[in-house]
């Protein structure tokens, strides 16, 4: 069952452009909480029914689907051919559309080892704020014709264009996968990551939580055995479930009313001096911290380690969810927004209070 609403969307956005009337774009709503909370009275542009896989050729390692297609439908199609979305997009509440996946740009536990959503995006068809339908990138692995608009769209939270369809690189599933657990605190884990990072091993995810270091090994039998013999540890019986729960924030750690911060930092950054609890993922490069510490402190600390901090569960706009940009970069952002959406009809104020 597939349906195409492109024409309707173009008409709707033409109308919006002519009347300077903004819309909020919504896929499955699974990441509604993410980013700035927008004016609920805005008209909704709903992509849920713009769905269906347009093409999928396993030997090309690429799938193209309409933006409202659910991530689960994509995965079902890939499963049949023994392929996968290597960046493990989160499916909060077991939901999520492929358009929302690209617009939010969030990647799961495998990110440091298999790349991000943005790395896998090969092409998009979108409608800009002037109601023009535009195609960039394509279905091939390498393409440098024109600026990389497809990757610019990734993570832009629908503020530059409405995604109609996206082409995503997919990967063969590993033959074999196990999870091993070592009794290590964060400090020990950071040392372990440092040591392991300098060897080419079949690691596909690694995080530290509650005095335990979890490492997932993926590859053919020989590669997994090789890594296991070097790392040691004990095998986790419910490894697959553990990583899924981490990916979708279903672990007990995430069940908490405190502000949840996502810090993206230089991986070797030592333990941060912040009150609260930490789950260290991405072999050190992503830290989930539940803390009541002031935003300024968290952000300064993140910047001092070459990173940024996102308030992942904002309740209102009293704290900016996204890390403020340096003024020069912020003005380039503003000009880009102007270039794609001159009258500001696409998801206004979803990303920043500036537009």
Site for another protein in 310-339 (CB under 8 A): 310, 322-326, 328-330, 332-333, 335-336, 338-339
Residues 205-224 that bind another protein (CB under 8 A): 219-223
Query: In a 10 Å sphere around its CB, with 0-12 CB exposed, 13-18 middle and 19+ buried, how is residue 229 labelled?
Result: exposed
Contacts of residue 247, Cβ cutoff 8 Å, sequence gap at least 6: 88, 89, 90, 91, 108, 109
CB of 340 to another protein, least distance (A): 7
Place of tokens 């969030």: 106
Positions of E strands within 226-312:
234-235, 260-264, 277-281, 286-290, 308-311
Q: Which two tokens stand for residue 34?
A: 């993410």
Show the site string, 71-110: x = touches another protein by CB under 8 A, - = not.
Answer: -----------x----------------------x-----
**201 contributes a contact to another protein by CB under 8 A:** yes
User: What are the backbone dihedrals phi and psi of residue 130, each rounded to the nearest 5 degrees, phi first?
Assistant: -105, 15
Stretch in the footprint of another protein (CB under 8 A) among 9-17, 69-77, 245-253, 305-313: 305-313
294 binds another protein (CB under 8 A): no
**Toward another protein, which CB reaches closer, 52 or 324?**
324
Residue 34-63 contact track with another protein, rule CB under 8 A, x = bound: -----------------------xxxxx--
CB of 273 to another protein, least distance (A): 18
319 phi, psi to nearest 5 deg? -115, 130
Looking at the Cβ atoms of 70 and 174, the one nearer to another protein is: 174
Q: Does 268 bind another protein (CB under 8 A)?
A: yes
Could you say which of 124, 227, 246, 272 contacts another protein (CB under 8 A)? 227
Name which of residues 106 to 165 contact another protein (CB under 8 A).
111-112, 115-116, 118-119, 128, 132-136, 138-149, 151-152, 154-156, 160
| 307 is an interface residue for another protein by CB under 8 A | yes
Do the Cβ atoms of 129 and 17 come closer than 8 Å?
Answer: yes
Name which position in 14, 226, 250, 319 contacts another protein (CB under 8 A).
Answer: 226
Residue 240's contacts (CB-CB under 8 Å, 6 or more residues apart) are 177, 179
178/185 Cα distance (integer angstroms): 21
Q: Of 307, 215, 323, which is closest to residue 267 (Cα–Cα)?
A: 307
Smaller CB separation from another protein, 111 or 247: 111
């Amino acid at each position: 069952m597939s349906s195409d609403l492109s024409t309707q969307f173009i008409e709707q956005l033409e109308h919006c452009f002519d009347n300077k009337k903004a819309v909020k774009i919504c896929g499955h709503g699974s990441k509604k909480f993410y980013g700035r909370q927008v004016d609920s009275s805005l008209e909704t542009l709903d992509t849920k029914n713009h769905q269906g896989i347009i093409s999928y050729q396993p030997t090309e390692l690429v799938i193209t689907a309409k933006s409202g297609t659910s991530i689960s439908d994509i995965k079902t199609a890939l499963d049949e051919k023994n392929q996968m979305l290597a960046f493990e997009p989160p499916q909060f509440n077991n939901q999520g559309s492929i358009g929302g996946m690209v617009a939010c740009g969030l990647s799961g536990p495998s990110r440091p080892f298999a790349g991000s959503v943005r790395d896998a995006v090969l092409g998009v068809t979108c409608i800009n704020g002037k109601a023009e339908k535009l195609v960039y990138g394509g279905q091939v692995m390498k393409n440098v014709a024109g600026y990389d608009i497809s990757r610019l769209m990734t993570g832009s939270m629908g503020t530059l264009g409405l995604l109609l369809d996206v082409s995503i690189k997919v990967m063969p599933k590993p033959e074999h996968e196990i999870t091993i657990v070592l009794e290590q605190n964060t400090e020990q884990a950071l040392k372990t990551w440092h040591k392991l990072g300098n060897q080419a091993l079949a690691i596909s995810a690694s995080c530290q939580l509650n005095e335990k270091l979890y490492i997932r090994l993926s590859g053919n039998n020989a590669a997994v055995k090789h890594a296991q013999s070097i790392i040691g540890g004990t095998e986790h019986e419910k490894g697959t479930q553990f990583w899924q729960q981490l990916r979708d924030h279903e672990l007990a750690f995430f069940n908490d009313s405190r502000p949840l911060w996502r810090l993206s930092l230089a991986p070797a950054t030592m333990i941060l001096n912040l009150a609260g609890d930490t789950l260290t993922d991405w072999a050190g490069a992503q830290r989930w911290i539940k803390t009541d510490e002031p935003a300024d402190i968290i952000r300064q600390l993140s910047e001092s380690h070459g990173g940024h901090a996102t308030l992942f569960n904002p309740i209102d706009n009293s704290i900016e969810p996204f890390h403020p940009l340096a003024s020069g970069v912020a003005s380039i952002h503003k000009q880009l927004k102007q270039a794609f959406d001159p009258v500001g009809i696409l998801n206004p104020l979803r990303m920043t209070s500036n537009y």
